[in-house]
Structure formats: structure tokens, C-alpha cells
Structure 1
Amino acid sequence: MIAYNPKIWRSYIFSFRKSDSFRTLLPFILLIAIYSGGIAYLEVEYLQLDDTSHFKNLSLIHTTLGFVISLLLAYRINSAYDRWWEGRKLWGALVNNSRNLAIKLSVILKEEKDLAYFRKLIPSYASMLDKHLKDEETSMLLFDDVDLAINHHKHRPNQIAKMLFQKIHTLYEAKKISGDELIILNAEIQSFTDICGACERIKNTPIPYSYSTFIKKFIFLFILTLPYSYVFSLGYYVIAVVPFIFYVLASIELISEEIEEPFGTDANDLPIKKIAENIKKHVEELL
């Protein structure tokens, strides 16, 4: 995720990052500018249409459809941001739950061997969840000072959650923790799986295909018909105005596509790798 200062306007207005929508849409913007210029030449120079032409009345349709498309795009970006924000809340909960589990274990457990086990395993859950959501493969993972191995062909976060609970249960059988402590620690471990399931729900349930394609087609047809009526009031200025309108509308759709799946590697996706590293740092400090 890009870190920035929202109070500095100048650097954002006059600079274009690699991930900026303008760079992505530039080929389409140029094509639409050429298309608009061709329509302007056809109507002004070749057909020599005047204000009595029915093409001028197309602006009435654009006025009505402009309101509709604004509602669709507003809903589109709001729904995408809701998914992004929910993902951030889930990873914030994972940070807090990892800390809480480490704090409780640091007080309950006395032996260094037991503490070392959780010192390695708790941060590993966040790290594996990061790789799991990004579909990154890992080989058999061996932990220092801990006799564990993770098979990347199976659900990796579930494997670590199972190991955490197995260790807690073993400590209970060895009388190192009480029944009440077992219940408390089990609730913390269960929250890890709940967070994993919620993240998978976001990742595996994209915006409906028909809705996404309809908006793209709507924007495309809306832009293609704009020059026909705008030529009467703007003349050759449609070469600049129509591509600008396309840039605004298409950028909203492009930004929505990027943030609706917040666990990827795009510039505006959540920094879950950094969050996982912070969890590791905090757990190691506590244990």
C-alpha cells in the first residue's frame, strides 16, 4: 500500500505513479481523442450539420444517463472500499488476537521450551495467511528449535492452527495449564480461524461478473455517443473534453477493481506482509 501525506496536493496533481490510472488508460484516451476528432470533422466539415440537426438532441439522453451512471459508479466504488476496509479490520483483529495470545501465554507458561514453540508458531500463522491469500507457494517449512513441518499442498493456516491447539491440549494434559486457561487460550486460537475464513470469503467472492461487465459496456457506449451532440456546442474541443470524461469515469471503475481484492500485490492493496512482520516483532517481544 502506498504511504502518503494527504495534505500535500501539489505532488499528487503533477506526478503520475506507475500505478496511476492515467498511465493505464492512456492508450484508450488517445484512441477516444482520435475518434472524437473524426466525429467532429465528419459533422463540421463533411456533413456540415447545423443546430437543426437531430444529433444535437442526443445531449438529452446523456443528461439522463449521466445521472444513472453516476449512481452505478458510486455504488461500485463504495462496495469495493467496503471490501478493502473489512480486510483491514480483519488483519487488525489478527494483530490484536496474536498479542493477546502471546500476553496470556507469557504469564501462564514458565518453561523456555514451551515459550519458544509459541514464539515461532504464532507469527507463522500471520505469515502463512499472507501467502495463502496471495496464492504464493512455499516448500516444506522447518522451524528453528521446533520440530514442525508445513506441507504447502494442504491448507497451511489450518495446519498451524491445529498445531497451536495440539500444543495447548498437550500442556493441559501435562498439568501445565488449567481447564479455565485451556478455554481462554482455545478462544484466542479459534479467532485465528474465524479471521482466515472471513478473508477467504472476501477473496473468493468477487463483485458479480454481470454487474462489472455492464458498467464497462455502459461507460464505453456512453463515451462513444458523446461527440455526436457535443460537437454542436464545443466544436473541435471535443477532442479534449470527451477523453477527459472517459478518464474520470473509467478511473473510478479501475480503482474499484484494484481495491475490491485487498490481499493482492497492487499498489493500493493492504500491506499484509508488513502487518505479519509487525506481529512477529510484537510476539517475540512478549515471549
Structure 2
Amino acid sequence: MISYNTKDWFTFIFHFHKSDTVRKLFPIMIAIGIYSALIGYLEVSYFKIGKNDYIHNIPIMHGMLGFVISLLLVFRTNTAYDRWWEGRKLWGGLVNNSRNLAIKLSAILKDENDRKFFRKFIPAYASILHKHLHDDDTGKQLFEDVDLEIDHHKHKPNQIKRIMYHKITDLYDAKKISGDQLIILNEELQAFTDICGACERIKNTPIPYSYSAFIKKFIFFYTMTLPFGYSVSLGYLVAPVVVFIFYVLASLELIAEEIEDPFGNDENDLPTKKIAENIKKHVEELI
């Protein structure tokens, strides 16, 4: 995740990082600029269309559709950000659960071997979950047209949870913890699986295809019709104007695509590896 100063306006305006939407959209922006300039030339210089022609009234359509596309993009970006923020809250919950479990075990356990066991496996769950969520196959498990040869009995986060739960049960059988303490520890361990399941729900359930495809088509055809209506009013300036409008609309869609999967490898995705390392450091301090 990119670290930045939210109050440094000039850095935002004049700095371009490798994931900036300008870099990604630059080739198609050039193509749209050439297309718009060509339409402007044909209307103004070749066909000599004036303000009394019906084609000059096309911006009326753009005005009505502009409101619709703005609503769609607002909903799209809000939905994507909700997924990103929910992922962050889930990993924040994993940090707290790991700390709480470590604090309780540090007070309950007296044997150093038992403490060493949990000092290793509590951080291991976060580390394994990070790798599990960054596995491409995890994000394809619900796709009907993809046949994955996955051994679900080797779901790695579940295996780590199983080992820890068996250890807790062995400690209870050995009378090292009481029944009340078993119940308290069970609540913390259960939260691990709840967090894993919620993260998998975000990972393997993308935005519906029809919705995402419709927005892209809408942006494309909306932008492609802009030169026809504005060439008479703007002349050759229609090219940079249309390019700028396309940049704004397409950038919003690109940003939504990037953050809707917070467990990917993009620069703005969640730093789950760093969070897992912090969990390891905190647990080792507590137990």
C-alpha cells in the first residue's frame, strides 16, 4: 500500500507513480484524441456543419446520460471501496484476536513448551492466510467455467486452526486449563475462521460481470459520441476536451477495479504481509 502525506497537494498533482491511471489509459487516450480531431475536421472543415443543423443538438442526449453515468460510477466506486474497507476491518480484527489470544494464553499457560507452541502458530495463521488470499485459485473457486483440482482437505488456514484447537483440547485433557478457560479460548479461535471465511467471500465473489461490462460499454459509447455534438461549438478543441472527459470517467472505473480486490498485488491493495509480520512481533512480545 502506498504511503503518502494527505495534505501534500502539489505532490498529488505533479507526481505520477507506476499505477497511475494516466499511464494505463495513455494509449487509448491518444487514439480517442485522434478520433475526436478527425470528427471535428469532418464536421467543421469538410461538411461545414453549422449551429442550425440537427446534429448540433446531440449534447442534449449527453446531458441526460451524464447524470445516469455519474450515478453508476458513484455506486461502482462506493461498492469497490466498501470491499476494500471491509477487508481492512477483517485484518484489523485478526490483529486484535491474535493479541487477545496471546494475552490470555500468556496468563494461563505455565509450561514454556506450550507457550512456545502458540508463539509459533498464532502468527503462522496470519502468514498462511496472507498466502492463501494471494493465491489465484482462491479467487476462482466459485467460477462455474473453471475446473480447479483443489484438495479442500488441505485448506492451509483451516489446518493451522485445527492444530491449535487440538492443542487447546490436549491442554484441557491434561488439566492445564479449566473448562471456563477452554470456553474463553474457543471464542478467540472461532473468530479466526470467521475472519478467514469473510476474506474468502470478498476474494472469490467479484462484482457481477454484467454490471462491470455495462459500465465499460457505457463509458466507451458515451465518449465516442461526444465529438459529434461538440465539434461545432469547440472546433478542434473538441479533441483535448473529449480526451479529458474519457480520462475522468475511465479512471473512476480503473480505480474501482483496483480496490475491489483488496488482497491482490496492486500498489493500493492491503499490506497483509506487513500486518502478518506485525502480528508475529506482537505475539512474541506477549507470550
TM-score w.r.t. structure 1 length? 0.94
1:107 CA drift (Å): 0.4
CA displacement at 1:105 relative to structure 2: 0.2
CA distance in 2, matches of 1:187, 1:75: 36
In structure 2, give the amino acid aligned to 1:133: L
- CA offsets, 1:140-166, max 9 Å, x none? xxxxxxxxxxx9982000000000100
How far apart, CA to CA, are the structure 1 residues paired with 2:153 and 2:255?
A: 33
Q: Which residue of 2 aligns with 1:160?
A: 160
Q: Which residue of 2 aligns with 1:141?
A: none
User: What is the rounded CA distance, in whole Å, between the counterparts of 2:190 and 2:283 in structure 1?
Assistant: 18
Helix, strand or coil: the match of 1:257? Answer: helix
Q: How does 1:183-222 map to 2 (within 5 A)?
A: 183-222=183-222
Distance (whole Å) between structure 2 residues aligned to residue 232 and residue 69 of structure 1: 24
Q: Give the SS at the match of 1:96.
A: helix
Alignment-mate amino acid for residue 237 of structure 1: L
The runs of 5 or more residues in structure 2 that have no matched partner are 138-150
Query: What is the correspondence of 1:1-287 to structure 2 with a 5 Å cutoff?
Result: 1-135=1-135, 154-287=154-287
Long gaps (5+) in structure 1: 138-150
Runs of 4+ in structure 1 over 4 Å off: none
Which segment drifts farther, 46-55 or 104-113? 46-55
CA RMSD, 1 decimal: 1.3
Deviations 1:112-167 (A, max 9, x none): 10000000000000000000000079xxxxxxxxxxxxx99820000000001000
Following TM superposition, by how much is the alpha carbon of 1:78 offset from its aligned partner in structure 2, in angstroms?
A: 0.2
| In structure 2, distance between residues paired with 1:15 and 1:174 | 61
Equivalents in 2 of 1:114, 1:228: separation in Å?
Answer: 74
Separation of aligned partners in 2, 1:232 and 1:78: 36
Q: 1:21 to 1:193 in 2, by over 3 A?
A: same
Q: Percent identity?
A: 67
Q: Which residue of 2 aligns with 1:147?
A: none
Q: Paired residues, what number? A: 274
2:144: which partner in 1? none
Cα distance change of structure 1 residues 153 and 238 upon mapping to structure 2, 3 Å threshold: farther
Shift of 1:180: 0.4
| Structure 2 Cα separation of the partners of residues 21 and 154 of structure 1 | 39
Specify the SS of the correspondent of 2:81. Answer: helix
- The one-letter amino acid paired with 1:50 is G
Letter in 2 for 1:280: K
| TM-score, reference length from structure 2 | 0.94
Structure 1 residue 55, shift from structure 2 partner: 1.0
Instruction: Determine the C-alpha separation between the residues in 1 that align with 2:27 and 2:279.
Output: 42
Q: Distance in 2 between matches of 1:50 and 1:75?
A: 38
Structure 1 residue 94: deviation in Å?
0.2
Residue-by-residue CA offset, 1:38-59 (whole Å, 9 max, x unaligned):
0001101111111111111100
Letter in 1 for 2:163: M
Give, as a single letter, the amino acid of the residue that structure 1 aligns with 2:6.
Answer: P
2:154 is paired with a residue whose SS is coil
Letter of the structure 2 residue corresponding to residue 172 of structure 1: Y
Q: What letter corresponds to residue 5 of structure 2 in structure 1?
A: N
Partner of 2:148: none
Residue 179 of structure 1 aligns to which amino acid in structure 2?
G
Change (3 A) 1:119 1:152: farther
- Whole-angstrom distance in 2 between the partners of 1:63 and 1:6: 34
